């Protein structure tokens, strides 16, 4: 009998339904694509704060005396020197150097690490880590179903979250994590949103919830990602969603935010057929770290050979948006690349895209074949947007 193909529900599924979210199957989960509208949600994150359900992401723990050594062998990054409470962006590659997933590794304790994987790749990453950890004194434990992940992103995120925790958020640096408690007990009373979000039970919320609070995100803004027990997801979400100005935000806004920030998406800019060097992310490959790691030989060779293509930014001159899979052409119509991500940019007010183009092409003006018409685009450096 085949496995049930139905998409899974995150612990916040009922909340999304109550908010009238447009739910779609994404990476095997029913996820909110949008609530009121992606442009409003996008702009809320840029100017105030947006709230995201990221519970589809995977959390895989490695613990034991040789956990760091196992990760050094399994991943392209140098994990051993990380201090407790720090995080690192890295990748797991196949032996041929192709990217299997991009990851964030958090060091939670001296012998405990949490690897956060993209939802579509959790099974692949888990299997690879189990295989690559053989022979090391470490345990690999997939706790993805035990955790909910809620992100509060935007310039107001610190001020908002500070109202509900005594954790020293002001001292928490970018790409760092701490264990804290989120509670409304003893904080400044918050103003109900009045938009249909249910009110939490006061007694329940005074007790608070334990959370791993990371200063990380995928929007190009300041913000926090809260890892909480799945059973605590609803009350944590409702606590933050009731704050005036916090806007529930879906996958569409998250995609345009990360696109403006020039952040790669697995399946678009990163694939098993793409090396970190092609993606302009060779800096995450630590060839100077001691010992061998999976993919080292192939990546050493790739580092010595200029890639045949490069990832660039494109800004459309017209109103038609380049989309994933559209062909990039030179001024004379010669194909020279392909769009990996594209959408209208709410911040720039014009369509933008990321694309791989042949390295031999260094023109500052190209075109994208948009349904049979060659729409002119300007080639620009990434990212399109960087917060001040």
How do beta strands 209-214 and 223-229 pair?
A: antiparallel
The pLDDT value given to residue 4: 59
Domain end position, chosen among 307, 338, 373: 307
One domain for residues 35 and 51: yes
Q: How far apart are CA 225 and CA 214, in angstroms?
A: 5
Quick one: how many helices (H) and strands (E) in the chain? 9, 20
One domain for residues 288 and 214: yes
Q: What is the mean pLDDT of residues 234-247?
A: 97
Q: How far apart are CA 21 and CA 211, in angstroms?
A: 26
Q: What is the largest CA-CA distance in the chain?
A: 68
> What is the rounded average pLDDT for all residues in the chain?
94
One domain for residues 292 and 196: yes
One domain for residues 246 and 316: no
> Is cis: bond before 383, omega within 30 of 0?
yes
8 A C-beta contact, residue 270 and residue 94: no
Provide the percentage of residues in the chain whose pLDDT is more than 90.
Answer: 91
How do beta strands 139-142 and 58-63 pair?
A: antiparallel
Task: Give 8's pLDDT tier (boundaries 50, 70, 90).
Answer: very high
Q: What is the mean pLDDT of residues 39-65?
A: 98
The CATH number that applies at residue 358 is: 2.40.30.110
Task: Give 5's pLDDT tier (boundaries 50, 70, 90).
Answer: confident
* DSSP secondary structure string for all residues of 14-25: HHHHHTT-EEEE
Q: What is the mean pLDDT of residues 138-147?
A: 98
8 A C-beta contact, residue 91 and residue 129: no
One domain for residues 343 and 261: no
Domain end position, chosen among 307, 324, 341: 307
8 A C-beta contact, residue 73 and residue 97: no
Distance of CA 83 to the CA centre of its chain: 22
One domain for residues 157 and 86: yes
How many structural domains does the chain have? Answer: 2
8 A C-beta contact, residue 278 and residue 356: yes
Model confidence pLDDT, tens digit, residues 286-325? 999 999 999 999 999 999 999 999 999 999 999 999 999 9
One domain for residues 110 and 257: yes
8 A C-beta contact, residue 249 and residue 237: no
One domain for residues 325 and 357: yes
Domain end position, chosen among 275, 307, 339: 307
The CATH number that applies at residue 121 is: 3.30.1360.120
The pLDDT value given to residue 190: 40
Nearest by Cα to 52 from 278, 281, 218: 218
Model confidence pLDDT, tens digit, residues 67-110? 999 999 999 999 999 999 999 999 999 999 999 999 999 999 99
Partnered with residue 31 across adjacent β-strands are 24
Q: How far apart are CA 52 and CA 31, in angstroms?
A: 10
Q: How far is CA 236 from CA 22, 30, 314, in A?
A: 21, 20, 39
Q: How far is CA 65 from CA 68, 111, 182, in A?
A: 8, 6, 31
- Whole-model pTM? 0.93
One domain for residues 338 and 357: yes
Model confidence pLDDT, tens digit, residues 161-210? 999 999 999 999 999 999 999 986 544 444 334 343 434 444 344 468 99
Alpha-carbon Rg for the chain in angstroms? 21
* DSSP secondary structure string for all residues of 61-114: EEESTTHHHHHHHHSSS--TTPPTTBEEEEEEE-TTS-EEEEEEEEEEETTEEE
Go through 154-174 and write b for each residue having 16 or more CB atoms within 10 A of its CB, e for each that does not. bbbbbebbeebbebebeebee
Domain of residue 362, residue span: 308-388
Where helices occur in the chain by DSSP H, the ranges are 13-18, 38-47, 67-74, 122-132, 157-162, 202-207, 233-241, 251-260, 296-304
């Amino acid at each position: 009998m085949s496995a049930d193909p139905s998409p899974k529900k995150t612990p916040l599924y009922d909340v999304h339904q109550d908010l009238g979210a447009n739910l779609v199957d994404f990476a095997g989960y029913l996820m909110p694509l949008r609530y009121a509208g992606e442009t409003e949600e996008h702009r809320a994150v840029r100017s105030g704060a947006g709230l995201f359900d990221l519970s589809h992401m995977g959390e895989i723990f490695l613990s034991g005396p040789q956990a760091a050594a196992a990760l050094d062998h399994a991943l392209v990054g140098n994990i051993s020197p990380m201090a407790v409470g720090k995080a690192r962006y890295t990748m797991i590659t196949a032996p041929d150097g192709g990217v299997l997933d991009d990851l964030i590794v958090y060091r939670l304790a001296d012998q405990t690490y949490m690897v956060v994987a993209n939802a579509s790749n959790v099974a692949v990453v888990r299997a690879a880590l189990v295989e690559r950890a053989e022979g090391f004194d470490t345990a690999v434990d997939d706790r993805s179903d035990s955790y909910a992940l809620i992100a509060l992103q935007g310039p107001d995120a610190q001020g908002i979250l500070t109202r509900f925790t005594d954790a020293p958020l002001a001292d928490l640096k970018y790409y760092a994590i701490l264990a804290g408690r989120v509670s409304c007990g003893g904080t400044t009373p918050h103003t109900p949103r009045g938009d249909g979000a249910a009110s939490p039970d006061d007694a329940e919320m005074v007790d608070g919830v334990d959370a791993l609070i990371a200063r990380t995100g995928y929007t190009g803004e300041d913000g926090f990602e809260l890892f909480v027990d799945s059973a605590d997801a609803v009350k944590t979400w409702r606590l933050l969603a009731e704050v005036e100005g916090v806007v529930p935000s879906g996958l569409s806004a998250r995609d345009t935010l990360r696109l403006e920030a020039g952040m790669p998406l697995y399946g678009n800019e990163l694939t098993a057929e793409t090396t970190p060097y092609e993606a302009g992310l060779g800096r995450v490959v630590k060839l100077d770290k001691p010992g061998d790691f999976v993919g080292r030989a192939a990546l050493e060779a790739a580092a010595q050979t200029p890639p045949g293509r490069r990832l660039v930014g494109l800004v459309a001159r017209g109103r038609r948006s380049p989309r994933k899979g559209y062909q990039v052409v030179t001024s004379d119509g010669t194909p020279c690349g392909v769009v990996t991500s594209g959408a209208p940019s709410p911040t720039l007010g014009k369509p933008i895209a990321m694309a791989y183009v042949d390295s031999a092409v260094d023109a500052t003006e190209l075109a994208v074949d948009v349904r049979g018409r060659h729409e002119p685009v300007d080639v620009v450096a990434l990212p399109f947007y960087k917060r001040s």
